Each structure stands twice: as C-alpha cells, then as structure tokens.
Amino acid sequence: MEKCCSYCQITSKKLSCCSNCRKRLYCSPECQVQATFLFFEILDWKPNHKLWCGNAGEKDYDYCVRETKNGKGFGVFALRNFEVNEKILINRVFNLHSMPDTTAASLKLLIPTSNDIKKYYVSFVDSQTEDHKKGICFDISRVKHSCLANSLPCIINQNYGALVASRKIDKGEEITISYVKGKVLKRIDESTLEERRKLLFSNYGFQCECNGCVENSEEWALLEELESINKTLREDAFMKNPMELIELLKKSLDLLKILNQSNFFLSKTFSLIFLWDCCLKKKMNNQSLTFLKSSIELMEGFYGFQSEMVIKLKELENIPEGTGVAEIINKFKSFM
C-alpha cells in the first residue's frame, strides 16, 4: 500500500510521521505547518490535525479505501476494531458555492466534469444546527450505503467532516452510511421500505440488498415496527395523551438500540421523552431531568466535544425545577 504526504499527496519523497500519533505523514515541514497545495488553502497542523491527532483514524493505518469484492467500485474498510462514537476518519469538506475561485479552479483540475463532482458529494449532520448539508469529501464519498449503516457522517467545524461509528465495527468490516435523507438528515425508521427503494433507485441507481430491505427478515420486521411508531408520532401525536407518547418513544428507543442505531438518534429520542414527561407532569421534575441528562450524555459521546447542540441541551438542564410546561416548550423549540 503506497504511502503519501497527508497534505500534498506526493509519494516520491521521503516521508516523516507526526511525532504524536505516528501515523499522519508529511514530506516536509512546509506541508505540516504552512504550505498550500491546490485546493488546500488552510494550514494542516494548528487548526486541523492538532485538534484530533491520536483521536481519529488515519488512512492506511486505521482504515483503507480499496475495491470491493462484489465489483461495485471502491469502499472504505476498517483496518482495526472501532468502538461506538469513535471517529473513524476526518476529511476536509469542500463547498463549490462558497470557496474562493482559486480553490474551485484547483479542485476542478482533480475533478474535471460536473458529473464527476457529484460522485464526491456527501451529506452530513451539521453539529451547530443539525441541518442536512452537502459537501465534497474524497474518502467519505467512497463509503457505501446500507439502511442499517454502522456509521454516521457529521460536520465538526467549518472545514471538516467526521465519520462516527454508530456501533462496534470489526477489523476488516466495510464502513457504511445511510443515503436515505430528506431536508434534514432522516432516520432510516422514518421511511418505509417502498420509499427507501424508490429514493435509492431514482437518486443513486441501485436497489439496496441489506437485511433491512429483505422482506420478512428480522431487521426488516424491526424497521417496519419503528416506522409504524414514528408514523403515529408524526401524524397522531396531538390525539394521544403524553403517557401514550412516552411509551411509544420508549419502545422506539428499545428498537433503535437493538438495531445499533447512532447515539445521535438515541439522544434525540431521549430529548423527546423529556419534553412529553414535562407535559405529563405539567412542569420540570426529577424524572424529566433524568431523561434530559441521558440525552446530553449520548450527544456529548457522539460529537466528543461541546457542540452547539450539546450547549443547547445543557441550557434546558438549567431550567429550574417546577418551571411550567409552556416555558419549557418555548425553550425546547429553539433546540429542535
């Protein structure tokens, strides 16, 4: 497996490794500290690699990009075991609509046509707003789809995106993400099998063959049950009392855990249980606070740092006990 400079990608020079993680390679001090190459118009060390040095996977050490055995192009594979919430890899994310002209021109040298560029687009969860955003990302764009994905991509700052393990991933296992999404990132249990098949075929030209798409499989049955619960929550929430909604959300939580869904989604479910428990008791209470703390813990674990969403959740945690439900709902709206 040929090694290259992590910054300029050159392979013909003698390479030195980062003295801390011993993985990231550079061909010169300039590449490590201040050099620019093509579209990389920011420093690699101080604002970027230093932030996750030793805390995220590196190419050809922790993961690799290679052709898949089924002949379906390139994929990303684990070269070691990954635990839940580990950062499998971190890549620079580019946006053609907001980058300088010089950067866009350089990028087009590497990706000549608009059709080629589309192949490198990836959808991310934005850590500040939770909106669904797209960007060009070279390694993460190689990750294949599965409705029961083992990782989730998220934006960690203005320039970089991470691939976060949703469950334990074994050495040699292919890394996968879900291509199913809407205006904001859409959980797989929020779409039926028919909707997923239609979306994947019309947008990507293939039909998913994962266990979640095989009718009458155990995973398919669990996803169908999740979709039924979420349909009730979306369409009939205000026709039910808070206790019924809490029970539905708890059932959804159990199913998400069985299916090894990301802690990001578990956190969101706990936050909804918190809200409806406040509605049930008509005020902030100790039980509600327990659900909120679980949501915060899961979200902190997912991002691994104080993201905007974690900060907003902690603002809810500071609401005094006994606060009325109307005020809690107003504060919760800004979070959602």
Which residue ranges of the chain lie beneath pLDDT 50? 1, 34-47, 102, 182-186
Residue 201 pLDDT: 78
Residue 1 pLDDT: 46
Report pLDDT digits (tens) over 281-323: 888 888 899 999 999 999 888 887 667 778 888 888 888 888 8
Residue 84 pLDDT: 93
Report pLDDT digits (tens) over 72-115: 788 999 999 999 999 998 877 766 555 555 455 555 555 555 55
Amino acid at the residue 71? G
Q: What is the pTM of this model?
A: 0.76
Nearest CA to 178 among 163, 159, 168?
A: 163
What residue ranges do the domains of the chain occupy? 55-186, 236-335
Residue 199 pLDDT: 79
Domain 55-186: top CATH class: mainly beta
Decide if 246 contacts 277 (C-beta within 8 A).
Answer: yes
